[in-house]
A = this chain, B = another copy of it.
Amino acid sequence: MKYEALNFEEKFGLLDEQWSPKVIAEMNDYQFKIAKIEGDFIWHSHQDTDETFIVLEGSLRIDFRDGSVTLEQGEMYVVPEGAEHKPYAENEVKLLLIEPKGVQNTGDRDENERTAENDVWI
C-alpha cells in the first residue's frame, strides 16, 4: 500500500486565501487545519472545546481580555474552552489549528465577514 506524509509547506502552497482554514487531516473526531492570517480576527470563544494554535511560520498574538500571548515559529498555545480571545498577526502568519470537527472559526459570534466555511479539505 502507498502511505504518504502530509507536508505543511506543500499544503500551504495550495492555499492563497487568508482567514480561510482548510482541513488537511483527521484524528478520530478532531481535525488539523492550516490557515494564513494577517490583521485582526474578532473576539470570540468556544463554549465546548479547547483550541490549539501552532505557529509554523511568522508570529501570532492571541489577545485575551486580561492579557495576551505571542507565539513565534515552533511555539504552540491551547486556548481553553470558554476563554474569549482574538488572534492578531501584524504580518501574515502560517498556522496549524487543531480542534474537534465541526467547530466554527468564529465560535459563539453571529455569522460575520470572518466566518469561514467549515470542513473544507485541501
Contacts and interface: CB of A to CB of B under 8 A. Distances in A.
Interface of A: 1-9, 25-28, 30, 32, 49-52, 56, 62, 64, 66-72, 74-78, 81, 98-100
28 contacts: A1-B64, A2-B67, A3-B62, A3-B67, A3-B68, A3-B69, A4-B69, A5-B70, A5-B75, A5-B76, A5-B77, A6-B75, A6-B76, A6-B77, A7-B74, A8-B74, A8-B75, A25-B52, A26-B50, A27-B50, A27-B78, A27-B98, A27-B99, A28-B49, A28-B50, A28-B100, A32-B52, A32-B78
Contacts of A62: 3
Contact of A8 (B66, B68, B76): B76
Q: DSSP class of A's interface residues: helix, strand, loop or mixed?
A: strand
A122 to B, nearest CB: 14
Given A27-B99, A28-B49, 7 more contacts: A1-B64, A3-B62, A3-B68, A4-B69, A6-B75, A9-B74, A32-B76
